[in-house]
């Protein structure tokens, strides 16, 4: 939303008012008479939108009795809406108009048709030469709103306006990269065909004011994608997600741990030392479970770090019977 000199501009999409962003690199040196007010909005592809213009109690009519609002997209043809000062004064509240659609001639049905607004996708093509079919290439990605104070007089005979057959219903959907000249534009305003309608009939004619009262209040709304707005610094970038940290069990023997424990530290050197200490502890526990104990005598002494093969005791300690020594005994086996 923008509010300047009693004029409030809103861009509404999906029943939500889009926030306006300021360019951080633009220096505000005051508001001059003919100075443009530039704002950024986020354009979501294929999202429908419309504008709402409100004249508040602070709006100065000067010598005019009518305020005309001109709306154009991407430097294209303008269409107008009028505020009547008498209606504004009688309502005793801010007067608002919804700029929901253009009116253009559709040759297929040979009738006038409403054309509603949406953010379309701008397709870039690699061409050798710049696209010469687009007259206002520098106005791509721009919604322009102008408010002019005028004098309104009644007509003796109503006048039926003929809307243009081209310009309102046809929009630019492709453009060459060379023509953009590095401009960060990825969207365009597309027109969605609506219901048939009648031509506008005017019962008044208008005259512009002279002198200082003739200046217009101009707004430029630059619609860009979210990525472009982040690169321009209009909106903060999305923070990177924090890395997932598993919950570690409390350490044994009072050794520090890393993760979601009370001993967690932000010092990278301390974290490295804690990891090394925990790794050494795990290695010692693994070796203690996988290595056998060597037994000597009555005491069992564990030997770490050396693997010994099991030796068959029968092969090492062979039992040999000693020969008997002494006199030979004679045994008589006869019956006598």
- Give the three-class secondary structure for 212: helix
Q: What is the DSSP letter of 137?
A: G
User: For residue 152, what pLDDT is reported?
Assistant: 93
* Residue-wise DSSP of 63-114: T-SEEEEEEEETT---EEEEEEHHHHHHH-S-EEEEE-EEEEEETTTTEEEE
State both tokens at 9.
């501009």
Query: Looking at residue 33, what is its pLDDT?
Result: 44
Q: What is the pLDDT of residues 1-45, one digit of tens each?
A: 788 888 999 999 989 999 999 877 665 544 444 456 889 999 999
Model confidence at 276, pLDDT cuts 50, 70, 90, reads confident
Q: What is the pLDDT of residues 119-177, one digit of tens each?
A: 988 887 765 544 444 556 778 889 999 999 999 999 888 887 665 554 444 567 777 77
Angle (nearest 5°) at CA 280 between 278 and 286: 105
3-state SS of the chain: helix, strand, coil percent to 5?
15, 35, 50
pLDDT, tens digit (0-9, with 9 covering 90-100), for 200-254: 788 888 999 988 888 899 999 999 999 889 888 888 877 766 665 544 444 444 4
Q: What global pTM score does this model have? A: 0.66
**Dmax over Cα atoms in the chain, in whole Å?**
179
User: In the structure encoding, which two tokens stand for residue 240, read together?
Assistant: 């990177």
Query: What is the C-alpha separation between 171 and 189, in angstroms, rounded?
Result: 7
Residue 290 has pLDDT above 80, yes or no: no
User: What is the reported pLDDT for 170?
Assistant: 56
């Amino acid at each position: 939303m923008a509010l300047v000199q009693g004029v409030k501009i809103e861009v509404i999409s999906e029943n939500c008012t889009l926030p306006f962003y300021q360019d951080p690199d633009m220096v505000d040196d005051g508001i001059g008479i003919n100075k443009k007010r530039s704002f950024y909005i986020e354009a979501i592809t294929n999202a429908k939108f419309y504008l709402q213009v409100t004249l508040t109690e602070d709006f100065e009519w000067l010598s005019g009795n009518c305020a005309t609002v001109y709306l154009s997209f991407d430097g294209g043809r303008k269409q107008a809406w009028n505020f009547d000062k008498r209606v504004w004064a009688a309502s005793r509240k801010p007067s608002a108009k919804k700029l929901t659609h253009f009116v253009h001639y559709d040759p297929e049905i040979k009738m006038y048709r409403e054309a509603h607004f949406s953010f379309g996708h701008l397709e870039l093509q690699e061409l050798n030469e710049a696209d010469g079919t687009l007259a206002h290439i520098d106005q791509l990605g721009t919604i322009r709103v102008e408010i002019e104070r005028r004098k309104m007089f009644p007509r003796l005979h109503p006048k039926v306006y003929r809307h243009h057959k081209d310009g309102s219903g046809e929009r630019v959907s492709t453009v060459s990269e060379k023509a953009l000249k590095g401009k960060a534009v990825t969207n365009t305003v597309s027109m969605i065909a609506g219901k048939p309608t009648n031509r506008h009939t005017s019962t008044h004619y208008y005259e512009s004011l002279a002198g200082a009262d003739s200046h217009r209040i101009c707004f430029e709304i630059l619609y860009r994608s979210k990525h472009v707005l982040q690169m321009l610094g209009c909106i903060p970038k999305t923070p990177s997600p924090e890395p997932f940290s598993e919950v570690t069990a409390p350490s044994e023997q009072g050794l520090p741990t890393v993760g979601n424990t009370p001993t967690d530290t932000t010092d990278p050197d301390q974290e490295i030392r804690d990891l090394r200490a925990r790794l050494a502890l795990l290695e010692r526990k693994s070796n203690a479970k996988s290595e056998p104990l060597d037994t000597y005598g009555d005491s069992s002494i564990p030997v770490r770090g050396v693997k010994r093969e099991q030796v068959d005791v029968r092969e090492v300690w062979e039992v040999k019977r000693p020969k008997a020594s002494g006199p030979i005994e004679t045994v008589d086996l006869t019956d006598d």
